[in-house]
Amino acid sequence: MGIKVFTDGGARGNPGIAGYGIYIEDENKKTLFEEAKFLGVKTNNEAEYLGLIGALTWIEENKIESEIEINSDSQLLVRQMQGKYKVKAENLKKLWLIAQNLSKNKKIIYKEIKRESNSRADALANKAMDNR
């Protein structure tokens, strides 16, 4: 038993107008939380990380202690959080560290999913960029 998190970040231009979308559901696919947040001007990867941080912050604030499955279509984000890729970009190091700190002592599985399997989070990210 646990929760599933879907995050997506995007930037129109790189860097450019950016936003993220978060969708969280319980094991019965009941929506627990969703957010579309405008970020100003960021890179695509910064937006991806800020979406993850937004989700991890919600998890922390709501004291979620069950297993957490985090789904993202960002190969870079997932593999960096899994420890498979090093974080080389200076603009991502601080964000990665924040995400790592928010992940401490939690049962988290990071999954790389196809873009079409992340449509709800993607729609929320686009909504954030459209409604700035």
Does pLDDT of 67 surpass 80?
A: yes
- Residues 70, 82, 78, 89, Cα dihedral to 10°: 140
- For the chain, strand residue ranges (E) read 2-13, 16-25, 31-42, 67-72, 108-112
Please report the pLDDT score of residue 1 as a whole number: 65
Residue 42 is predicted with a pLDDT of: 98
pLDDT band, very low/low/confident/very high, at 132 (cuts 50, 70, 90): confident
- pLDDT tens per residue across span 10-62: 999 999 999 999 999 999 999 999 999 999 999 999 999 999 999 999 999 99
The domain 2-23+41-63+73-130 is placed in CATH, from the list 1.10.10.10, 3.40.50.2020, 2.30.30.60, 3.30.420.10, at: 3.30.420.10
What pTM, to 2 d.p., does this model score?
Answer: 0.97
Domain ranges of the chain: 2-23+41-63+73-130
pLDDT digits (tens, 9 = 90+) for 76-107: 999 999 999 999 999 999 999 999 999 999 99
